[in-house]
Amino acid sequence: MIFITGPLFAGKKEYARSLGYEDADIVSDAQERVKAQEDLTALADRLAQKPVVICTEVGGGIVPIDREERRFREQAGRLSVLLAQRAQTVVRVWCGLPQVLKGELPCR
C-alpha cells in the first residue's frame, strides 16, 4: 500500500493519479473514517489492503476548543501513524510536490 498524506488541497489525489492509479484504487479522506470507527487497528488493517490510501493532515494549527474536534484530530493522527507503519511507501505531498518518507515508489 502507498500511504499519501499532506495538507488540504495539496495535490494528493492528483499525485496518486499521476502514478497510474485510478479513482477506484484510491481511498481518499481516510481520516474521516475515524468518526464512525472506534477500533483504529482494525480500520488500519482494512485500509492497508487497498493500493493507495490518502489522509489529509488535520493536526496542525490551532487546537480546537470543541472536545469532539480534538478527539477527531487525535484519532486521525493515530490512524495516520498506523497506516504509515503498514505502508510499503509513505509520501507527503506539499504544494503538489511529493516527498518520499518511506520506501520507494513502485513502477506501474
Structural domain includes residue 68 = yes
Structural domain includes residue 67 = yes
Structural domain includes residue 87 = yes
Whole-structure pTM value: 0.92
Structural domain includes residue 53 = yes
Give residue 80's domain range.
2-102
pLDDT given at position 36: 83
Q: What is the pLDDT of residues 50-99, one digit of tens each?
A: 999 999 999 888 888 999 999 999 999 999 999 999 999 999 999 999 99
Structural domain includes residue 108 = no
Q: How far is CA 18 from the centre of its chain?
A: 17
Structural domain includes residue 16 = yes
What is the number of structural domains in the chain? 1
pLDDT above 80 for 107? no
Structural domain includes residue 81 = yes
Structural domain includes residue 107 = no
Q: What is the pLDDT of residues 30-46, one digit of tens each?
A: 999 998 877 999 999 99
pLDDT above 80 for 108? no
**CATH number, domain with residue 14:** 3.40.50.300
